[in-house]
Amino acid sequence: MPLKTMRLTMAQALCKYLINQFTVVDGKQVPLFPGIFGIFGHGNVTCLSEALYEVRDQLPMYRGLNEQSMALAAIGFAKAKRRQQIMVATSSIGPGATNMVTAAGLAHANRLPILILSGDIFINRRPDPVLQQVEHYNNPTISVNDAFKPVTRYWDRIVHPEQIISSLPQAVAAMLDPADCGPAFIGLPQDIQEYAFDYPAEFFEPTIHEAPRPRADMKKLAQAVALLKAAKRPLIISGGGVRYSGAEATVAAFALEHGIPLSETVAGKSGVVHDHKAHIGPIGIIGSASANAMAAEADVILAIGTRLQDFTTGSWTVFDHKAKFISINAARWDATKHRALSVVGDAKATVEELAVAMKGHKAPAAWMEKGHAEFADWNKSLDGWQAPTNAPIPTYGQVVGVVNRKAATRDYMITAAGGLPGETMKNWRVKSANSFDCEFGFSCMGYEIAGGWGAAIADPTRDVFVMVGDGSYMMMNSDIYNSVLFGHKMIVIVCDNGGYAVINRLQNFKGAASYNNLIKDSLAKNPFPVDFVKHAEAMGAHARKVESLSELETAIDWAKGNDKTTVITIVSDAFVWTPGDALWDVGVPTISNRKQVNDARKYQDDVRAKQRIGV
């Protein structure tokens, strides 16, 4: 019997393949690729746009305003969906493509899936150099799309229409693999998009995908059990992998059953609610005094689904040098770090097997009691830092406290770079699972509003609170317009502290003079504030400026009653921050004419003397 084929252009075949990929979420079959963000140009506007138009009902397209922000929106969507569904982003060649490199870096660092489809140069080279082509004199096969190679988990350039038959399944497999999860990039040369090919019909058959759950090696699991049973002061660090595995309840129950205090990383926050009986707060540089105090005494650390970046480990200063690590991670690379007992496997499946082997065992009760006492002290401190004062300008902590109190149980909070990650990690008391997104793996300014738009698309049944500093707002804000245009409501809280205040704080902390971070310390002769209300209103949003915490409460009530994106701006203190205890290793000059810098250098040497040395 002859092979049944379908004659399609490469662009048509690609789109037909995408709309026939499905997954299962909460027991229901849904599209694996529910939508696409795009900006058209000469590299994708003819062939690919025509193909996308044909499938517009199955693969709806959101018109982007900036290639980086639309890709960030796709990433925010993926995070809100806990990596269960994947958005696509497409651009033309040249600057449209390179604008997405930053977003790809963010997705790669955070292990989040996005499919990036970029136009590319002509394979036949007949019209070279085309508009926006960057030529490499000694290697004509290189285009700007090669810049994606360091920041993607899968990279390909299609130079024959048949190649998508092998390439697309590999891209999907990489994005769904819990170990390799991250961005996939496929370059689409302009001439190859137009070529027709007789594709086998079975290539387009509906396919249901589910992320695999790799099981741990039984010997490694037994070694982990032995370490935990011998531990007097065990501690759990719950990372983002716990959430993406759907292991939140499993890990929380394991911690409670075996009397092990549970701390969270930035990506792991909201795996459990704030008042869970085993929870002792976030850990690390922007963590809690309670979790850091427990980490300093812990003898065995069970790290689950975390890559143990420096903000989690305090640049490896928060742990006793004799402490032993067990690392459960789907990725071998992450599981093997820092002399840990490497248990490579899915978080949910591995912890379930660990629980069976640990049945009946419980850590000394005094250890969990200490965790409860430390966490109680931390909560009292939070109450004090968030309480209103007579100060004319509220602090970040006070602002976060108000927003947190006014947010409904299921509402979603999203933030990213600057001072707000530390302030929200410390001051935001999680009310429901998977309701918090702080992008701090790449610490990317500009993620907040774009990611908030993606999160609003992902779940329109809850309010999305975007907390953003004035610096990040100025860097990337255009998706306020898109959220209004397409009807995806956000509540954006702009904390205006006059520039890049947290970097000014770091600058001063390391002995340097304030220089070019706050607007008042720049070359500007007549600094002036931005009117964020007028700016937001110009993009179609409701907007209001408030002067006090009580006005902020009233404004949030107003915003929750609105039917479209609402921006609330409040001047915030640039110099008062919620205290933290963990150290951070950053470069400080060894030679300086300033005493403050020399003193900071001595302090930095002390930090490095406390570091646990990894291998």
CATH architecture of the domain 5-209 equals 3-Layer(aba) Sandwich (3.40)
Q: Where are the chain's structural domains?
A: 5-209, 218-377, 388-571
How many CB atoms neighbour CB 291 within 10 A? 29
If you average pLDDT over residues 141-165, what whole number do you get?
Answer: 98
Question: What is the predicted pLDDT for the residue at 164?
Answer: 98
- 388-571 and 5-209 share a CATH fold: yes
Question: What is the predicted pLDDT for the residue at 309?
Answer: 94
Q: Which residue has the tokens 């698309």?
A: 457
If you average pLDDT over residues 306-310, what whole number do you get?
Answer: 95
Question: What is the predicted pLDDT for the residue at 223?
Answer: 98
Average pLDDT across the chain, whole number: 96
Read off the pLDDT of residues 220-260 as tens digits, 9 standing for 90 and up. Answer: 999 999 999 999 999 999 999 999 999 999 999 999 999 99
Separation between Cα atoms, residue 561 and residue 479, nearest integer Å:
21
**pLDDT for residue 615 is more than 60:** no
Question: What is the predicted pLDDT for the residue at 3?
Answer: 87
Separation between Cα atoms, residue 266 and residue 249, nearest integer Å:
18
Question: What is the predicted pLDDT for the residue at 581?
Answer: 72
Q: What residues form DSSP beta bridges with 485?
A: none
The model's confidence at residue 172, banded by pLDDT at 50, 70 and 90, is very high
If you average pLDDT over residues 65-94, what whole number do you get?
Answer: 98
If you average pLDDT over residues 266-275, what whole number do you get?
Answer: 98
Name the superfamily (CATH) of residues 218-377: TPP-binding domain (3.40.50.1220)
Question: What is the predicted pLDDT for the residue at 190?
Answer: 95
**pLDDT for residue 577 is more than 70:** yes
- In residues, how long is the chain? 615
The CATH label, of 3.30.450.270, 3.40.50.10440, 3.40.50.1370, 3.40.50.970, for the domain at 388-571 is 3.40.50.970
615/174: higher pLDDT: 174
- Tokens encoding 429: 């008391």
Over the Cα atoms of the chain, what is R_g? 25
Read off the pLDDT of residues 527-562 as tens digits, 9 standing for 90 and up. Answer: 999 999 999 999 999 999 999 999 999 999 999 999
**pLDDT for residue 614 is more than 70:** no
CB–CB of 186/35 below 8 Å?
no
Please report, rounded to a whole number, the percentage of residues in the chain having pLDDT higher than 70. Answer: 100
Question: What is the predicted pLDDT for the residue at 1?
Answer: 72
Question: What is the predicted pLDDT for the residue at 29?
Answer: 97
How many CB atoms neighbour CB 516 within 10 A? 13
Q: Quote the crossing angle between the two packed helices 447-458 and 479-486, to the nearest 10°.
A: 20
If you average pLDDT over residues 255-268, what whole number do you get?
Answer: 98
If you average pLDDT over residues 435-445, what whole number do you get?
Answer: 97
- In terms of Cβ atoms closer than 10 Å to its own Cβ (0-12, 13-18, 19+), residue 30 is middle
DSSP 8-state symbol, 438? E
